[in-house]
Every structure is written in C-alpha cells, then in structure tokens.
C-alpha cells in the first residue's frame, strides 16, 4: 500500500496507460447501447493533420474532451470517443515535395502514381506521431476505432457524398473566382490564406473621360490588375460623382472604353471615392461584376504572369513596376501614398495568393445552410459559450458557394470522368467503363482532388461506418459533444452540420464547446518567432501529464483566452504533490489502525462528508455546463483547503490519542473521502489518481477508470456551521497571536461566550483539536468578558484570548500605532490614485482592478489593527 516518498510521474504514467489499453477500458461496446443496457455518450476527436506534432492548442482540446469522457464513463455511460487524423492534402504534399527536392526531383519528375506511393510511405512512417503524443497526455480515445480521412471506408463515404450531391444539383463545375497559390499551383480555402499587414502603396491613376471632359482619379493597391479593368465605380450617394455615372472612361495603357457605374459597395472615404472594377482579380469586384452584368477579363496565368501585351510573360510584381513607370511617362500617375493593408499569403509556402478566375468544382451551400441555421436558432444544437452563435450566423447568412477542388495529387481524387468523344462528365462512385452519354470507352478522370474540408465535413458519421447502416452508426450517432477552436466554426463545424443533416437527417452533435486561445503570460499569441511557445511534451516530461492537464483545466474559463506560463504549470505541480502527500498520510494511518467495524461520526466527520457531497454536486454541475475551471477550482479547494488543511489535522488527534472507536472512525472517513476525492479528480488527473487508487484497501473497482462516480449521499447540514465556527475560532486565535507578535507555539488561555448550546457542544467535543491546532492551554466557557484579553466576534460566539501576561502591552500599543500610520498613508495614496480620472482611463483594466483590491485589503487590515489597538488600550487602562 505504500506510496513512494515523492511524487514522480515518470515512474508510473506510461505504466498505467499501457494497463488501461490492455484492459480495453476505452473501447465502447455498441451492443450495450443497442440493447438498452447502457446510455451512450459519443464524441469525435477533431482530426489533427497527419503532418502535425502536438502543440498546446491540441493539448487543451484533447484534455477538455478527455475530462468529459472520463467523467461520463464513471457515471455509467458507454463512452465512444473516436480518434483519427486528417490527410491534410496541401500540408502533406508540401512535406513530401520538400523530401523530393533533396533528391533534386519534383513530383512531376516521378509522376502521380509514384508520388502518391511516396506520400503513403511517409504517412506510414511519420503519420502516427501526433496520435502517440496524444496518448502521452492520457487521452482515453477508443483506439480500436481510430480512423484516417483516406482509409478505405472513409474514401467510400467521400465518393458517395460527392456523387449524391452532384446528382441532386448541389455540386457543379463552373468558372468562378478562387484563392490561387501560384507556387503550390492549387486553389486554396479561405482558411489556407493567411492575411498579413504589409507596407504597400496607394497609386492614384488618372482615367481620362471618353468625352474629353477631364478625368477621374482611381486609387489602387494593385496597378498590375488594371489591365483587366471593365469599369470604374462610385457610391450612388456620393455627390461628387453623381453626374458622371453612365459616362465612359478610357482605360490607360489598354485604351479600352469602360463605363462609370454606381454601387453601394464603394466606400467614398477610400482614396478618391472612385475604384477600379476588375472582376477576374478581386472577390468584391467579382460580386459587383455579377450585379452589373460586367465581363471578367483575366490578365494573369496560373504562375502569376501577365497574359496581355505589352507585358505578356512578365511576373505580376515586375509588371507592377513597369506599369507604374509607363503611367508616369504618360502623365497619368497623379501621386503615390504609403498604405498599410492586409495581403493574403499561402499558409504553406507564404507566396502572395492571387484571386484567380478558374474552372473548379463548387458546392451550392445556401440550400445546405438552412437546416443548421434553424437548428442553432431553436437550440437543437447549442454553442458554448453562446456568443459564438453570432459568429456562426454571420458566416452562414453570408455564405458563398464552396470551392472543393484542389490542384494537387494527395487527397480524394474527384470521382468525375470526362468523355473524350462527346465531352460529357461522368460522375460515379466506381470507375465507369463507358460514357453514360455516348458509350465511348475514352474516359479521362479529373486530375483534381477534393478540398480536405470536404472529407472532414463527413467526420461525425463517416467514422461510424456511413454510408452503411452499421451498428456503430445506430448506437453512437448523433454524437453528443464537439470541442473545437473558434477559427474553424465556419470551415469545419458548420460544414459538418450541413453534411450531417443532409445525409443522415439528424444533427451531427448536440453541443459545440468552443475553447479559447492559449496565449503566453502577457497575452501574446504564441509563435516560434517570438520564442514564447510552450511545448506540451516538454511540460509533460518536466512536470507530468496530470500537472499540465490540471493547469489547462483550471485556466479554461469560458469566453476568456488562457494566459499560460511555465511558472503557472510549476505552481500546479505543488497541488499534485499535495494530493500525493495526503494519500501517503492516509495510507500510513490505515496501516496503523484497524478501519473496519462500527463507526461513530464526530462533528468534524459529518462536516467533511457534507463538504465532500457538496463538492460532488459542484463538480457535476460545472462539468455539465462545461465550466472546466470551476470544476477544477471546486476539487482544488476541497482537497487542499478542507480535507488537507482541516480534516486531516482534526483527525490526527483521534488517530494518535483517541479510543479504538475514534481511531477507527477517523481512518474510515479518511479512506472514504480520499477514495471519492480521487474519483472527482480522476477526469482531470488520471495517472496520479490511478496510482493512488490502486494502493487503497477500500477500492471499489479494478481500476479508477471504471470506478463508479461518487454520489452526494452524505448530508449533515446541522454539523457544517458549528465546525466552520470552530475553524474560525482556531484561525482567529492564530491571527491574534500574529497581530501581537506572540510566537505561534506559545500556548494561550481562551474563553468562549455563547448562548448557542449546539455550538458549545461542538466546541466542547472538538476542544482537543482546538488546543492542538491553535496552541491553547485552556479553553473555558465564560459569561463575562475576562480581563487581560483581546477578543474577536463570530456568529453566535465571542472569543477572548488572554494576552496581558504574554506581551508588553504599552510597547504593543506603540507598535500598532506606527503600523496603523503606515497603513493609513498607503490607503490615502491609493485613494488619490483611484480618484484620478486620467489613471482610470489610461491604465489597463487589470492594473486598476489590482489597485482596488489592494485598497480593500488595506482597509480591512486597518480595521483589524484599530480594533486590536482599542482592546489593548482597555487592557492598559
């Protein structure tokens, strides 16, 4: 039963994880759910990229899910937590292309088939890294059900979804504007475009009016795209240009006549209030072009080179300089101003992304968005915190068709075949032998692959065997919870809703818990460049997985970003040590005392059992509402400040000096409270709790993983207040000594005055504890205020501490007066600061709050010192 002298997680964390896997505790039995034997609770792990390594965001995400899954498992649910990885098309292809480059090769040199083989080989060698790292954190996923977005079953689901949507008219091929990376040579999703603030220019260009009556000045950040201008636009409410609407201007360099149009999108405050419209090279211009029936003229190829004279074949940025130079020569460049603006870059290779008019595959999203919008409105699907509903609605009401094709080789190849005889597009789940239109065998499959988000949109039901009607699908779908970051609410969460409702007729999940960002201690975003990244694996190695998990849970307040530092993690290692030492004491006491047999509860036993029941209720309530930080706080408060600081100290009197019955009762309660406390803590700190639980003589399961969750069965409300008062008496005596510079070990006489007989009875029973913990020589009841005492008052009782013979009263009076003077100065200084309007406006909120808290504390100290001073003056007189 003995625990090691010090807490060293490296000695047991891996051991217990292997044990859990061998026992199959994380595997869900669908038969128990289908038979009605058990209720189900199901979750899908947001699939990390197969190229990924564990970062602190992954650690937070998986920890929060694991807390809920372990809690539900202990509460008797059949928990199915499905893990897996995403094939991450562009990211993975980029990694393998870099490996090829070391051999002096490109993917085109080796060909598609060989390249894809190499990617699979890379995946087999390195693709499980992040999964193994998640296991180090203690994630209790059902690893038997692990999926990959390109495994055979999932690929079947992807093809089925594509074909069904195509046949329903919800997938189409068309020429539209998309994000294009000239380096990776593929379309990108909005999430794969990183917008960075860059220092650029605003070029003011004169566009001459065709009627010869002057010119308009257009401000642009991209002069090279003017070659594709089809109009200039003004705001219809802009009085400066109302008379010009309908007229034409001559496009410089190209000499094409283009119209002046009015559109509400134009911001009169930007530049001159006149903007160029280039539908083939700007998303907003494309929309304007659609509204006004304007053509879209593309002036670049897919390598970012100009395609029209006189700059044909010139790189877009070189063409920019040449165009500006030519405009200067022709006297059409009015001025240039420095201008900071956001420019999109490819998230993988950092090349500036180009809006590009291209033939691509698209999903019509508006019809698919209707059901998810309704589900969130009615509360069928809930966002936690609720504020994220606004983000969801904002995106969904303004949704555009979704470009799902990517010009890369790694991914789900689009199941479409072009007939070389008649041009018909054949869309099918299996490779067709003949054209369904003309019967020709000359078919060529589309070269593109599907956007990674398309396959991951099927994740909640594709992982459970859809499109087959499997037992897993029947038992565990819809899932209950999704834990995710806010940045993919649109790109992933909303798309899972669209696909879930469309293909299954059911919601994909009930609750969407949106966790915050993990920032550094100063609130800065973590980045390698800044050098402020916290590596979770390093923290696990240094402090243990449990410590990191508890830290993340304790900081995970809803709607607030987490400020994390190694110092905070180190601080929670002290809590792990505390739990360890609590267990060592209890187990040691158990070895010395017979704990089985009849027990007779004392007030402090009833108090701690009631506090335990209240903590069980609190943890249940907070976890039910995903208030992870409050659940962690409740457990921390109970274990450290109630069980360790008070009950264990109370129990020592009986264990070392009590009767057999008193000893037996104390150890019985210690063991019961420790066992149930470990269960409460287990979802957050699984390894530590298992290591201790296995040493308990009264464990009620083979493993704490499957132990029953404690119930709040012990409620002795009548004992709580009297014992709380005893605690305050002890604390008050200690504080009195501290205020009067009496050494803590000096024994004092104490008198209590009260008319509350129940309270006096509890005090009488607990006199040995009061004497020991407050270092009291005698504790007596009194009807009068004794002389030579200082007193303090608690609800229902007056407490008098005899100090006249222990101190030089006159000296103490002088010392306290000096201290009061210093405190008074500090109070006035803070009051002056907090009445300064400039300080309140300019100082950060946390600084103002800190000052207000300091002032409140100083006022409390002043009041206590002043009260003590008056009492000492009474003694002296």
Indicate the annotated binding residues for ATP.
528
**What is the C-alpha R_g of the chain?**
36
Beta-carbon count within 10 A of 177 CB:
25
Q: How far is C-alpha 328 from the chain's CA centre?
A: 52
Task: For residues 564 and 538, give the distance between their C-alpha atoms in angstroms, rounded to a whole number.
Answer: 14
Give the start-end residues of each E strand in 221-307.
231-234, 248-250, 257-262, 275-277
3-state secondary structure of 770: helix
Tell whether the torsion through CA atoms of 310, 316, 322 and 327 is positive or negative: positive
Long-range contacts, 774-778 (Cβ 8 Å, 24+)? 774/729, 774/730, 774/733, 774/734, 774/748, 774/750, 775/733, 775/737, 775/744, 775/745, 775/746, 775/747, 775/748, 776/733, 776/747, 776/748, 776/749, 776/750, 777/747, 777/748, 777/749, 778/749, 778/750
Please state, in angstroms and rounded to a whole number, the distance separating the CA atoms of residues 323 and 253.
8
Nearest to 628 by CA among 68, 57, 45: 68
Residues in contact with 94: Cβ distance below 8 Å, sequence separation at least 6, in sequence order: 184, 348, 349
Question: For residue 247, what are its two tokens?
Answer: 């007229």
H or E, element range at 346: strand 333-346
Q: Is the alpha carbon torsion for 824, 829, 833, 836 positive or negative?
A: positive
Distance CA 448, CA 358 (A): 13
Phi first, then psi, for residue 179 (nearest 5°) are: -75, 130
Query: Which phi-psi region, left, alpha or beta, contains residue 523 (left: φ > 0; alpha: ψ -120 to 50)?
Result: left
Q: DSSP label at 36?
A: T
Binding residues: 528
CA atoms of 717 and 739, how far apart (whole Å): 33
142 contact partners, CB below 8 Å, separation of at least 6: 26, 27, 28, 79, 80, 81, 82, 83
Query: Rounded distance, CA 495 to CA 473, Å?
Result: 19
∠ at Cα 90 (88, 91), nearest 5°? Answer: 65
Peptide bond into 362 cis (omega under 30): no
Distance CA 261, CA 292 (A): 8
- C-alpha distances in Å from residue 270, one per residue of 204, 206, 267, 441, 713: 12, 16, 6, 57, 68
Interatomic CA distance for residues 250 and 330, integer angstroms: 13
Residue corresponding to tokens 């405009």 = 327
Q: Tell me the C-alpha to C-alpha distance, in Å, between residue 716 and each of 523, 661, 712.
A: 45, 20, 11
Longest CA span, the chain:
117
> Closest Cα to residue 45, out of 26, 19, 23?
26
Torsion region of 411: left, alpha or beta (phi above 0 gives left; psi -120 to 50 gives alpha): left
Tokens found for residue 99: 């490996």
Q: Assign 3-class secondary structure to 838-849.
A: HHHHHCCHHHHH
What tokens were used for 464?
A: 């459970």
Whether residue 113 has a cis bond before it, omega within 30° of 0: no
Identify the helix (H) or strand (E) that includes residue 179.
Answer: strand 171-181
């Amino acid at each position: 039963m003995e625990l090691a002298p010090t807490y060293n997680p490296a000695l047991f964390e891996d051991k217990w994880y292997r044990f859990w896997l061998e026992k199959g505790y994380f595997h869900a039995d669908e038969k128990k759910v289908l038979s009605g034997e058990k209720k189900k609770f199901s979750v899908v792990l947001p699939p990390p990229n197969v190229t990924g390594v564990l970062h602190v965001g992954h650690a937070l995400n998986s920890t929060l899910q694991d807390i809920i899954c372990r809690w539900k498992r202990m509460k008797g649910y059949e928990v199915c937590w499905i893990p897996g990885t995403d094939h991450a098309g562009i990211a993975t292809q980029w990694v393998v292309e870099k490996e090829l480059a070391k051999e002096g090769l490109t993917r085109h040199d080796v060909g598609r088939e060989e390249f894809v083989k190499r990617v699979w080989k890379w995946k087999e060698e390195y693709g499980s890294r992040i999964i193994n790292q998640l296991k180090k954190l203690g994630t209790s996923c059902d690893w038997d059900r692990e999926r990959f977005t390109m495994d055979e079953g999932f690929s079947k689901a992807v093809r089925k979804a594509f074909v069904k949507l195509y046949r329903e008219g919800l997938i189409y091929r068309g020429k539209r504007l998309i994000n294009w990376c000239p380096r990776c040579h593929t379309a990108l999703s909005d999430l794969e475009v990183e917008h960075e603030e860059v220092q650029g220019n605003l070029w003011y260009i004169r566009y001459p009016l065709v009627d010869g009556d002057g010119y308009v000045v257009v401000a642009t950040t991209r002069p090279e795209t003017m070659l594709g201008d089809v109009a200039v636009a003004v705001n219809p409410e802009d009085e400066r240009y109302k008379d010009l609407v309908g007229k034409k201007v001559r496009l410089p360099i190209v000499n094409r006549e283009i119209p002046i149009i009015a559109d509400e999108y134009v911001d009169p405050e930007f530049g001159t209030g006149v903007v160029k419209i280039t539908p083939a090279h700007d998303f907003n211009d494309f929309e304007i072009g659609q509204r006004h029936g304007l053509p879209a003229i593309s002036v670049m190829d897919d390598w970012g080179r100009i395609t029209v004279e006189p700059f044909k074949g010139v790189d877009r940025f070189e063409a920019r300089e040449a165009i500006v130079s030519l405009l200067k020569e022709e006297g059409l460049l009015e001025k240039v101003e420095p201008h900071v603006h956001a420019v999109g870059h490819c998230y993988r290779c950092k090349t500036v992304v180009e809006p590009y008019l291209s033939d691509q595959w698209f999903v019509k999203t508006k019809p698919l968005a209707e059901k998810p919008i309704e589900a969130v409105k009615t509360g069928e699907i809930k966002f936690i915190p609720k504020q994220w509903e606004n983000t969801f609605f904002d995106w969904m009401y303004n949704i555009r068709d979704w470009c799902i094709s990517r010009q890369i080789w790694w991914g789900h190849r689009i199941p479409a075949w072009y007939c070389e005889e008649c041009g018909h597009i054949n869309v099918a789940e299996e490779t067709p032998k003949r054209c369904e239109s003309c019967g020709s065998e000359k078919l060529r499959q589309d070269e593109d692959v599907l956007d990674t988000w398309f396959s991951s949109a099927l994740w909640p039901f594709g992982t459970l065997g859809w499109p087959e009607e499997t037992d897993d699908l029947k038992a565990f779908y819809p899932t209950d919870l999704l834990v995710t970051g806010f940045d993919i609410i649109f790109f992933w969460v909303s798309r899972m809703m669209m696909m879930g409702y469309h293909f299954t007729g059911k919601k994909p999940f009930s609750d969407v818990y949106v966790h915050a960002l993990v920032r550094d201690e100063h609130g800065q975003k973590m980045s390698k460049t800044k050098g402020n990244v916290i590596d979770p694996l390093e923290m696990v190695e240094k402090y243990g997985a449990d410590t990191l998990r508890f830290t993340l849970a304790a900081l995970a307040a809803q709607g607030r970003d987490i400020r994390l530092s190694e110092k905070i993690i180190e601080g929670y290692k002290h809590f792990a040590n505390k739990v360890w030492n609590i267990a060592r004491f209890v187990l040691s006491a158990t070895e010395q005392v017979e704990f089985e047999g009849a027990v007779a509860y004392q007030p402090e036993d009833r108090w701690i059992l009631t506090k335990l029941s209240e903590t069980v209720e609190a943890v249940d309530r907070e976890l039910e509402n995903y208030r992870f930080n409050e659940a962690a706080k409740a457990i921390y408060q109970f274990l450290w400040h109630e069980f360790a600081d008070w009950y264990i100290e109370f129990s020592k009197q009986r264990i070392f000096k009590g009767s057999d019955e008193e000893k037996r009762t104390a150890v019985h309660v210690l063991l019961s409270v420790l066992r149930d406390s470990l269960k409460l803590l287990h979802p957050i700190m699984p390894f530590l709790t298992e290591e201790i639980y296995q040493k308990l003589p009264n464990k009620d399961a083979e493993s704490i993983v499957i132990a029953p969750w404690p119930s709040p069965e012990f409620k002795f409300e009548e004992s709580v207040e009297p014992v709380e008062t005893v605690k305050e008496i002890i604390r008050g005596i200690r504080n009195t000594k501290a205020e009067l510079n009496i050494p803590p070990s000096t024994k004092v006489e104490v008198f209590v005055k009260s008319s509350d007989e129940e309270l006096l009875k509890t005090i009488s029973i607990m006199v040995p504890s009061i004497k020991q913990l407050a270092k009291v020589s005698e504790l007596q009841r009194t009807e009068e205020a004794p002389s030579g005492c200082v007193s303090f008052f608690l609800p229902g009782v007056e407490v008098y501490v005899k100090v006249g013979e222990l101190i030089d009263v006159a000296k103490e009076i002088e010392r306290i007066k000096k201290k009061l003077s210093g405190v008074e100065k500090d109070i006035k200084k803070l009051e002056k600061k907090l009445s300064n309007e400039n300080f309140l406006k300019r100082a950060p909120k946390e600084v103002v709050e800190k000052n207000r808290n300091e002032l409140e504390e100083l006022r409390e100290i002043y009041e206590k010192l002043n009260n003590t001073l008056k009492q000492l003056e009474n003694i002296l007189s």
